Amino acid sequence: MRWTGPGAPFVFFFITVLISSFFWGAGPGFLAGFMSAPLSAFLFVYQAGYTLSQALAQSILFLTETSFVVVFADRFAKAKRRSELNERAASEARNRLENVNKLPRTFKQVLHNPGRFRSNRREEKESEQDLRCGIKRGHASRRLS
């Protein structure tokens, strides 16, 4: 304690660094830390009667601790945002699945087996075209003769 002096004059600035790095990222957190270090060193340490070396030692300790706080708060905030995005995507996928389960059975079959229903559709189109031309299946030979 001899080289830093008694007390913790920087303790009030940790919350500023923590909030700025949590909400706005590492850059603003470091900015808050590096702006508050000389200000608090001058106002709360040097003017309170500490020596210059004690004020400098406390500032260096504060900046070191601030760096750890900024990095951890920024990583925690990014992990929280990523978790919220994953939760939102899972909710949307769950809603889509529920909507598919609410569809009628025949439509579900079309969704799960599109090739099978396409061939039936082609046959229907061919029979419609034959009817339009006046040709019925099995009766084409009569018409041609």
Residue 145: pLDDT band (50, 70, 90) is: very low
Is the pLDDT assigned to residue 132 strictly greater than 80? no
Asked if residue 15 and residue 79 are part of one domain, the reply reads yes
Asked if residue 143 and residue 96 are part of one domain, the reply reads no
pLDDT digits (tens, 9 = 90+) for 90-111: 999 888 888 877 766 666 566 6
Cα–Cα distance, 68 to 2 (Å, whole number) = 24
Asked if residue 138 and residue 111 are part of one domain, the reply reads yes
Asked if residue 10 and residue 66 are part of one domain, the reply reads yes
pLDDT digits (tens, 9 = 90+) for 25-83: 889 989 998 888 888 888 877 777 778 887 788 888 888 989 998 999 889 989 999 99
The type of residue at 49 is G
Give me the number of domains the chain comprises: 2
pLDDT of residue 87: 94
pLDDT of residue 82: 94
Cα–Cα distance, 131 to 145 (Å, whole number) = 18
- List the domain range (segments joined by +) for residue 111: 103-145
Residue with tokens 């030979």: 141
Asked if residue 38 and residue 94 are part of one domain, the reply reads yes
Cα–Cα distance, 71 to 94 (Å, whole number) = 35
